[in-house]
Amino acid sequence: MEKIIKTTYEEVSKLAADIFIDVIRNKKDAVIGLATGSTPIGMYEELAKAYEKGVVSFKNVTSFNLDEYVGLDPKNETSYRYFMNEYLFNKVDININNTYVPIGKEEGIEEACKEYEELIAKHGPVDIQLLGVGEDGHIAFNEPGEYLHANTNVTVLAQETREVNSRFFNSVEEVPTKAITMGMGTILKAKRIVLIANGEKKRAVMERLFADDTVSTDFPISFLKLHPDATIICDRAAYPGK
Ligand code: F6R
């Protein structure tokens, strides 16, 4: 696991965007894995800028998002599909039919998990997967616990995650209780993984991650230590150490 520490969030965003641009320029039909949340917003802005300048084209790219809330319509402004359209897909030349975000429909959700897993297997392997990390160490929505799922699954969100994510909603009660998420195995199958983290709120997670070589289901991010090509990029506020 490689660790890169940048001074600012802007530098983290720029470097992560440059890595993705490099992958796409070298493989026009790259399959990329994407994340939502606050952390990737700067990187998506960089990608949109690079597209406008003609530095990169997403024309033949296929994307898979990590997760989606269960019970939110894709048109709902707090859904991850809406987020992706807003922050990236509508700003670049990607074919929207080649952008996949899990469908968080209550009905037939188990089947939807299986289908998403199969779809990734069909188009994959993912060339490069972007990740953020929760303050409790979750990756995608694989929450800390006694065990983790290998495949795309429906998860009950930790109360802490709902509280942290309530900033996107009117109240914590509005935050869905469940999500559909790629599993740990789904994520680890990507050829390359880039995790970005910034700000003091992520410091405890970064310090625990870099403290030793242990891997534990109560700290899902630690599974990245098992991947042959995982890079953690964070700013100084998230990790003041070396
Ligand atoms: C989002 C996702 C989550 C976030 C994590 C951090 O698709 O998979 O694991 O990456 O909750 O969120 P932010 O970036 O808002 O701190």
Tell me the residue length of the chain.
242
93 is catalytic: no
> Which atom of ligand 1 is found nearest the CA of 80?
7
Any domain includes 115? yes
**Structural domain contains residue 213:** yes
Q: Is the CB of 36 under 6 A from ligand 1?
A: yes
Q: 37: CA distance to ligand 1 center in Å? A: 5
Position in ligand 1 atom list of the atom nearest CA 140: 8
Residue 202 CA: which ligand 1 atom is closest?
16
Q: How many domains does the chain have?
A: 1
Catalytic entry in 68, 117, 136, 235: 136
pLDDT tens digits in sequence order for the chain, 242 residues long: 999 999 999 999 999 999 999 999 999 999 999 999 999 999 999 999 999 999 999 999 999 999 999 999 999 999 999 999 999 999 999 999 999 999 998 899 999 999 999 999 999 999 999 999 999 999 999 999 999 999 999 999 989 999 999 999 999 999 999 999 999 999 999 999 999 999 999 999 999 999 999 999 999 999 999 999 999 999 999 999 88
Judge whether 140 lies within some domain: yes
Active-site residue identified among 46, 68, 117, 143? 143
* In a domain? residue 129: yes
Q: Is residue 242 part of a domain?
A: no
Task: Please give the pLDDT value at position 196.
Answer: 98
Distance, CA 203 to ligand 1 centroid (Å)? 15
Q: Domain for residue 103, yes or no?
A: yes
**Residue 75, phi then psi, degrees to nearest 5:** -80, -15
The answer as to whether 35 is a domain residue is: yes
- List the CATH number of the domain containing 158: 3.40.50.1360
Task: Label residue 46 exposed, middle or buried (CB < 10 Å: 0-12, 13-18, 19+).
Answer: buried
Domain that holds residue 168: 2-189+199-235
Q: Provide the pLDDT for residue 242.
A: 85
Whether residue 240 is contained in a domain is answered as no
User: What tokens appear for 79 in the block?
Assistant: 């859904």
Q: Please state whether 4 falls in left (phi above 0), alpha (psi between -120 and 50) or beta.
A: beta
Q: Judge whether 67 counts as a catalytic residue.
A: yes
Pocket flag, ligand 1, residue 35 (CB < 6 Å): yes
